[in-house]
Amino acid sequence: MTLTLSDIQAAHDRIKPYIIETPVLRLHNLEEILGCEVYVKLENMQRTKAFKLRGVMNALLQLTDEELNHGVVTSSSGNHGHAVAYASKMLGIKATVAVPDTAPPFKLQKIKEYGAEVIHTTVEERFKLQESLVDEFGYTLIPPFNDYRIMAGQGTIGLEIMNQLPDVDHIFVPASGGGLISGIATAVKETKDSVKIHGAEPANLPKFSESLKNKKLTQVENKGTIADGLVSIIPGEKNFQIVQNYVDTFHTISEEAIKMGQKLMLMEAKILTEISSSIAIGGIVNGEIKVHPEDKVCFVITGGNLGFDQLDYIKDIKY
């Protein structure tokens, strides 16, 4: 089994009533700075303010009535946890989210607001806990990325980009486990294979770059990153297969450039992004990625969930 364009088209039909078809905007005010035609796909304006709702909704809408009655479980302190809580509320089913004790209060509160049951745990214990909840209560596990239903949902972003900007040349996608980039790459390459797909990941956590170099799943040392949505230390297995097949280049981005991307988007483009979501833009400003003036480049802005205090990170950043 793998992922195909028709899976993604079916996902789009399925989730359409529940999601926002987010805008693609041209950002003229960034073009001189970045040196290309600049477009952004604004998933920070998605419901729950992140792309994760697409994949989660596509998974939930394929559960049986019995599975829905039992409810779902996941382990996440971030946007995937929000999406599971919010989507479950929309469908009127029970959701349980195992939240590690490292979760910032801001993110924890959102999960509670969406009505999910929160179970506190540790980073080390969370997957074991999640499995014990599946065994004990019959919950269905909703994984964050290594799942074809999740990838098909995230891939709907690729379908929308090809519809909104059919003559795009390059698409840049941030990657953690790889659910988003594997979905988008499948949607785009199977629609128009001349469009180049680029992944971007923190230089401190280069799991895709290393795995591609080694031609096998490679776990990297966790050197830490400010990009709190991009902390996976190893690609998802199913995701990696698709990335090997369809992604043209992977770029590693320095911590300094990651911050520059967020500040540039805020101050020059007037768009608030979460720090993980504008890393490719930072990579270009800082000279870590090259583009050409005639290129039409679309950046997937993956989310906008951050507390006001988090803006302090970028206070003194220059670009």
Give the interface with a copy of itself as residue ranges (CB under 8 A): 20, 23, 25, 27-29, 42, 44-45, 47, 49, 266-267, 269-273, 304, 308, 311, 314-315
CB of 266 to a copy of itself, least distance (A): 6
CB of 30 to a copy of itself, least distance (A): 10
Residue placing its CB nearer to a copy of itself in the complex, 143 or 229 = 229
Instruction: Work out the angle between the directed axes of helices 52-60 and 5-15 (0-180°, nearest 10).
Output: 90
Provide the residue count of the chain.
Answer: 319
CB of 128 to a copy of itself, least distance (A): 35
Tell me if residue 75 is catalytic. yes
* Beta pairing, strands 24-26 & 95-100: unpaired
Residue placing its CB nearer to a copy of itself in the complex, 253 or 271 = 271
* Sign, Cα dihedral of 168, 30, 278, 202: positive
CB of 48 to a copy of itself, least distance (A): 9
Residue placing its CB nearer to a copy of itself in the complex, 47 or 94 = 47
Look up tokens 């809408």; give the residue. 61
Residue placing its CB nearer to a copy of itself in the complex, 215 or 318 = 318
What number of other Cβ atoms are within 10 A of residue 68's Cβ?
A: 17
CA dihedral 203, 205, 207, 209 (to 10 degrees): 0
Q: What are the CA-CA distances from residue 112 to residues 44, 107, 109, 115 (Å)?
A: 20, 9, 5, 5
Q: Hey, what amino acid is at 235?
A: P
Residue placing its CB nearer to a copy of itself in the complex, 82 or 198 = 82
Given the residues 6, 75, 77, 182, select the one marked as catalytic. 75
What's the CA gap between 252 and 212, in Å, rounded?
Answer: 13
CB 22 within 8 A of CB 41: yes
Sheet holding 95-100, edge to edge: 117-121, 95-100, 72-75, 140-141
CB of 230 to a copy of itself, least distance (A): 19
What's the CA gap between 184 and 243, in Å, rounded?
Answer: 10
Classify the phi-psi angles of 268: left when phi > 0, otherwise alpha if psi is within -120 to 50, otherwise beta.
alpha
Residue placing its CB nearer to a copy of itself in the complex, 24 or 233 = 24
CB of 240 to a copy of itself, least distance (A): 31
**Can you read off the two tokens belonging to residue 188?**
């785009």
Of 60, 57, 72, 46, the closest CA to residue 15 belongs to 57
- Give catalytic residues, as residue numbers: 75
